[in-house]
Amino acid sequence: MQESQHFRNRAATAFLLIAGAILLLSLRYVYLQVVSHDEFSTRSISNRVRIVPVAPNRGLIYDRRGRPVAENLPAYRLELVPEKVEDLQSTILALSSIIDLPVDAVEKFQKNRIRHRVFDSVPLKFNLSEAEVARFAVDRHKFAGVEVVPYLARHYPFGELLTHVLGYVGRLDKEDLLRVDAGNYRGTTHIGKSGIERYYEDRLHGASGIEKIETNAQGRVLSVLERQDPAHGDDLILSLDVQIQQAAWDALGDRAGAVVAMDPNNGSILAMLSKPSFDANLFVHGISAENYSEILNAPNRPLFNRALLGGYEPGSTLKPFVGLAGLELEVITPDKQVFSSGNYYMPGGSRPYRDWKKGGHGWVEIHGALEQSVNTYFYQLAYEIGIDAMHDYLAQFGFGDRTGLDLLGENRGVLPSRQWKRGQYGLPWYPGETVIAGIGQGFNVVTPVQLATALSALVNGGSRFSPRLLFASKRLGDEQAQRTVAPLVQQIPVRDPANWAIVQEGMRRVVHGEQGTARAIKPDSGFQIAGKSGTAQVVAQEEGTDHQSSETAMHLRHHALFIAYAPFSRPGIVVAAVVEHGGGGSRQAAPVARAVIDAWLNQELQP
Amino acid sequence: MKRFFPGWIKWPQLDYPLLLSLLLLIGFGLLVLYSASGQDISMVYRQGTRLAVGLVAMLVLSQVPPHILRLWTPYLYALGLVLLLATWFFGVGRSTSRWLDLGPFRFQPSEIMKLAVPMMVAWYLHPRRLPPDLLSTLTSFAILLAPALLIARQPDLGTALLVAVSGCFTLFLAGLQWRLMLGAAGLAAAATPALWYLMHEYQRNRVRTFLDPESDPLGSGWNIIQSKIAVGSGGVIGKGWLNGTQSNLEFIPERHTDFILAVLSEEFGLLGVVFVFALYLFIAGRGLYIASMARSTHARLLAGSLSLTFFVYVLVNGGMVSGMLPVVGVPLPLISYGGTSIVTLLAGFGILMSIYAHRNFIR
């Protein structure tokens, strides 16, 4: 009995001990559930509720007739929340057995992963095929933290035709974030990298929305608790006409070159292309290294936008402007005649400056000088105007300066002057350089878009616009699109409208005159086109050689230029065409301009 | 009534307070399990089946007189040791070898030891003079340490400690002198650094995580943090049955097994926690009461140590879920989903009931 009493003491002690222990443990629960309740409540909510950005739909782009040229197509991408994935390496390995994962996609993912916020998803692959989506759906349970997400992928239905205008969107990277409001791009994966897509990025992108979602521990979205819709980006309507663009494309064939067509009345661009081109769609989903090096190493540099960046010697296409300068500055009169003997000598000079026609053109006044492109006339005229006066007059047409159109990266070109040469080379100006500047050679460099802009001002009575590709933009919900107006950069003073008419008449004769250099493109219908051909030297012409002939090696051949406008009486379109290594301007580039004008006319005649 | 039964079948004499509190706990546990399983009723059925098996085992054992149990004790203990040795060679299981595959079902021999060790120590001590002298104390330690070390090797440190502790309780109830106890405790404390070196890396990580869970919130600290969030966000009255977001959205790991108390705390709040703690304390207290009523030394020691061991499970699991103790694989008794432990626990209560039923016999 004494032993049993001893046991009872021990049992009672044990009971007190365990009762004390459970009391202590209960106090721990009181601490968690009462004292720290608010803190843990908050953490419980933030555990399951996440605020995620919702990317806005990118604005669509149409041509002037409402044809979609950049659209959004439904697609699927593969996303991953690195924090939710147990073993990243093996998960990617496992994914690559059901989804085609190129090495560069994985590299890009690893790079993007670093800049991402914790628990934000990082895209791994865009534009999954239907088979890939289906295969993933089957195995989805094996991949915690991996999701297939629907999105809208940019697509350019016209492929390479519009690439140099539209540009393309590509994966958003660190550099891109520096030029945009990063907060507004948290949900965005693609951004305009070049062309219209880049220039109008802020309008196309729209405003990001917010979604409050409930997720489980694996990060799967269970429900949307609250949503603030994103604001759709603006739709853009370009002044570009795909039909005219296509005509220019076809007319260039497989030659390298550029075409810019503009409405001279308002500065809106009707066509603009550079050939060769490439398919912008390749860049949207991240171009493979293989495809990229193919484009990079292709002959004639498809990535190079000749319409904007291509610097060409204007050659004789500058003559109408030089002629107008002579008339307006009263250096010459309309009936002034100059004798072309085939060789021109500066007063007191001994070096001959050639005419393109052996033996010369005889006596010519301004009309004939333009019609037949008589070099001697313009050698003499330039000599008489002087380089600085010529520079100042031609500068009004925008030569030597950016046109300021709505694309980035334009080439300035060169409009030489004494000051320019001193600044550039530290050398004095030689009179001979003035003479050849009169026929657009020497230091002169122009871009196709500059030529079109300058010609517009020449035919519309001196209004120089900064050209515009954007015709109008439409905000979501707006009934009416907002019209864009090309800014008038300069109103060139007109001393005598007759002077302008004389130059225009000279250009008409280039096509319609009996000796017009481009009379081959004269329409049979009686429709009147005015133009001027030009030849840009690739290598300086030497005695006895002719770089226009087809026997000359291709890369040594001159570039063919042609500027034109129509209809002559009431101009509605201005065209500048360049065919690289085409040889003579009238033979190679004029038919391209004619094809563009025909296409424009076809469009105008349609209701 | 007796007319319908042959004389040798006695109407079971059960301890109804103990039985009722056990049934209350089991019923509440199934309710919590339904929520913790993500409302998977088939899981509740499976758990119900195990509980039924356990209850049958309890009823059967309650009818076996304690002295018969005492006779079985050495054989049960020996069988347990053999099976533990077998896991060494034929064990299966993820990364550890705790299980024996016996064809139709898998079986954890360490569970036997939870009963066999206190039984064996009680068996060894009962004919001896109590309080135990140094020799019996050391022999008792040898009895409890042999299986504990085998289990620790598996490795299953949590169960090993519990098995050892259950043997210690027997010694304590046998009246081990306080100074010997303090000496042993001091020895254990001194051995702790040695234990660190014996631990597997994953076990060390568990201890590290326990000491600073926020150091790796998405990795090893995840369990403790999510569990604490579940408990804390439950508040006083809880989020309501089936409404626990931590549980339903799978933030709580092992939510239907080792961490089921976190689900309970989240959905039923402090009130629910105090309710089950009180039930557990009542059950253990009732067990100690039964022990005190027993007439034989063996029955006293066995009933007392089974009750205390049962309660230690609650303390360890409750401490683990609330972040007071490291994460060790100890289930919440009778509530956590899982096979062997439920059957062993209920079998233990069967022994208690047998001791209660035979309290008036002196053998």
Of B231, B236, B277, the CB nearest to A22: B277
At residue A248, the pLDDT reads: 95
Q: Which two tokens stand for residue A599?
A: 């296409």
- Best CA proximity match to B258, nearest among B316, B202, B203, B201: B316
CA distance B144 to B117: 6
How many Cβ pairs closer than 8 A exist between chain A and B? 134
ipTM of the complex: 0.90
DSSP A312-349: B--GGGGHHHHHHHHHHTTSS-TT--EEE-SEE--TT-
**Residues contacting residue B300 through CB under 8 Å, at least 6 positions apart:** A4, A7, B173, B291, B292, B294
Alpha-carbon distances of B26 from A319, A335, B303, B314, rounded to whole Å: 103, 118, 21, 14
My answer on whether A8 and A46 are in the same domain is yes
Closest residue of chain B to A118, computed from CA coordinates: B218
Does residue A299 fall inside a structural domain?
no
My answer on whether A256 and A368 are in the same domain is yes
Residues from chain A that touch B130, judged by Cβ atoms under 8 A, are: 3, 6
Locate tokens 């060409």: which residue?
A: A312
Our CA-based measurement puts residue B286 at a distance from the nearest CA of chain A, in whole angstroms, of 10
Our CA-based measurement puts residue A145 at a distance from the nearest CA of chain B, in whole angstroms, of 13
Q: Is the pLDDT of residue A288 over 80?
A: no
Look at A44 and B245 and tell me if their CB atoms are within 8 Å.
yes
Look at A25 and B233 and tell me if their CB atoms are within 8 Å.
no
Residues from chain B that touch A6, judged by Cβ atoms under 8 A, are: 130-131, 175
Question: How many domains does chain A contain in total?
Answer: 3
Q: Is the pLDDT of residue A549 over 60?
A: no
Q: What is the per-residue pLDDT across A34-69, written as a single tens digit (0 to 9) for each?
A: 999 999 998 888 888 877 888 899 999 999 999 999
Amino acid, res. B148 = A
Q: Which two tokens stand for residue B338?
A: 């899982």
At residue B8, the pLDDT reads: 52
Does residue A324 fall inside a structural domain?
yes
Residues from chain B that touch A83, judged by Cβ atoms under 8 A, are: 218
Q: Which residues of A are catalytic?
A: 316
Residue of A9, A44, A45, A216 to mutate for B, most B C-beta atoms under 10 A = A44
Cβ A207 vs Cβ A56: under 8 Å: yes
Least confident among A263-277, A467-481, B281-295 = A467-481
Q: What is the per-residue pLDDT across A299-341, written as a single tens digit (0 to 9) for each?
A: 888 989 999 998 999 999 999 999 999 999 999 999 999 999 9
Q: Is A408 exposed, middle or buried (0-12, 13-18, 19+ CB in 10 A)?
A: exposed
CA distance A122 to A129: 19
Q: A49 — contact with chain B (CB < 8 Å)?
A: no
Q: Is the pLDDT of residue A547 over 50?
A: no
What residue ranges do the domains of chain B occupy?
Answer: 13-357
Q: How confident is the model at residue A2 (pLDDT cuts 50, 70, 90)?
A: confident
Alpha-carbon distances of A583 from A316, A373, A526, A555, A579, rounded to whole Å: 13, 16, 28, 10, 8
Q: How confident is the model at residue A542 (pLDDT cuts 50, 70, 90)?
A: very low
Residue of A4, A5, A6, A15 to mutate for B, most B C-beta atoms under 10 A = A15
Peptide bond into A607 cis (omega under 30): no
Q: A142 — contact with chain B (CB < 8 Å)?
A: no
| Containing structural domain, residue A371 | 242-278+304-605
Amino acid, res. B54 = G
Mean pLDDT of chain A: 88
Does residue A547 fall inside a structural domain?
yes
Cβ A56 vs Cβ A209: under 8 Å: yes
Alpha-carbon distances of A382 from A125, A325, A346, rounded to whole Å: 61, 9, 11
Q: What is the per-residue pLDDT across B127-166, written as a single tens digit (0 to 9) for each?
A: 888 788 888 888 998 999 999 988 887 777 778 888 888 9
My answer on whether A568 and A522 are in the same domain is yes
Our CA-based measurement puts residue A185 at a distance from the nearest CA of chain B, in whole angstroms, of 27
My answer on whether A95 and A21 are in the same domain is no
What sign for the dihedral angle of Cα B256, B258, B260, B263?
negative
Residues from chain A that touch B249, judged by Cβ atoms under 8 A, are: 47-48, 214-217, 222
Does residue A488 fall inside a structural domain?
yes
CA distance A40 to A46: 10
Polymer length in residues for chain B:
363
My answer on whether A234 and A108 are in the same domain is yes
CA angle A185, A191, A192 (to 5 degrees): 145
My answer on whether A218 and A260 are in the same domain is no
My answer on whether A394 and A477 are in the same domain is yes
My answer on whether A56 and A31 are in the same domain is no
Our CA-based measurement puts residue A124 at a distance from the nearest CA of chain B, in whole angstroms, of 22
- Best CA proximity match to A48, nearest among B253, B227, B251: B251
Q: Is the pLDDT of residue A152 over 80?
A: yes
A78 beta partners: A125, A148
My answer on whether A435 and A534 are in the same domain is yes
Of A15, A32, A214, the CB nearest to B285: A15
Residues from chain A that touch B131, judged by Cβ atoms under 8 A, are: 6
Torsion, Cα of A579, A580, A585, A591 (10° steps):
-20
Closest residue of chain A to B174, computed from CA coordinates: A7
Residues from chain A that touch B305, judged by Cβ atoms under 8 A, are: none
Look at B300 and A7 and tell me if their CB atoms are within 8 Å.
yes
- Best CA proximity match to B309, nearest among B340, B278, B288: B288
CA distance B264 to B260: 6
Q: What is the largest CA-CA distance in chain B?
A: 70
My answer on whether A45 and A55 are in the same domain is no
Q: What is the mean pLDDT of each run of 10 residues along chain B (363 residues)?
A: 50 82 95 91 92 92 88 91 83 59 66 89 87 87 90 80 89 86 81 74 73 64 86 92 85 87 95 96 95 88 92 93 84 86 89 86 47
Q: Is the pLDDT of residue A270 over 80?
A: yes
Q: Is the pLDDT of residue A168 over 50?
A: yes
My answer on whether A364 and A254 are in the same domain is yes
Q: Is the pLDDT of residue A136 over 50?
A: yes
